[in-house]
Amino acid sequence: GRRLYNDLARSLLPPDQAGTHNQAIMEFGALQCVPRNPDCSVCPLVARCAAHAAGTPERFPVKQHRTKTVDRYFHYFYVTTGDDLFLHRRPAGDIWQGLFELPLIETSAPADLDALMGTD
């Protein structure tokens, strides 16, 4: 499925025009094929539209569920001994896994240095 569409897109769209194509598709979705009130009577794609053929164009496009985001606050510490700088490797299964970084304290809300160090 996906490979078929990718191959078709590559054969129809010059590589240097991808931005123009993407903008056109976004405008088509925003102006023409809108949820709840699509204007099928003037749509250039109505002859090939499965939603129109099924009589249910108002049910499309299906809105994708967004991944819930969580605010994370990283408080880094610059730790040296002599000419050496302390770094550690981030654990697997989290953002930036395997990369080196300064030591940190992560909180779920902004915090000041006194709160982080327990010296309030």
Please give the average per-residue pLDDT across 37-62, as a whole number. 84
The CATH class that applies to domain 2-59 reads mainly alpha
Instruction: Tell me what pLDDT residue 120 has.
Output: 67
How many angstroms separate the most distant Cα atoms in the chain?
75
Q: Domain coordinates of the chain in residue numbers? A: 2-59, 73-117
- Joined tokens for residue 61: 């496009």
pLDDT at 91 over 80: yes
Tokens 């930036």 sit on residue: 96
Q: Which residue has the higher pLDDT, 37 or 104?
A: 104
- Joined tokens for residue 81: 């001994």
| DSSP one-letter string for 4-52 | HHHHHHHHHS-GGGHHHHHHHHHHHHHHTS-TT---GGG-TTGGG-HHH
Q: What is the pLDDT of residues 1-34, one digit of tens each?
A: 788 888 887 888 888 888 888 898 888 888 888 8
Q: Taking all residues of the chain, what is their mean pLDDT, rounded to a whole number?
A: 88
Number of CB atoms found within 10 A of residue 70's CB: 6
Q: How many CA atoms lie within 13 A of 50 on its CB side?
A: 2
Please give the average per-residue pLDDT across 102-118, as a whole number. 89
pTM, two decimal places: 0.47
Q: b/e per residue, 72-105, with b = 16+ CB within 10 A?
A: eeebeeeeeeeeeeeeeeeeeeeeeeeeeeeeee
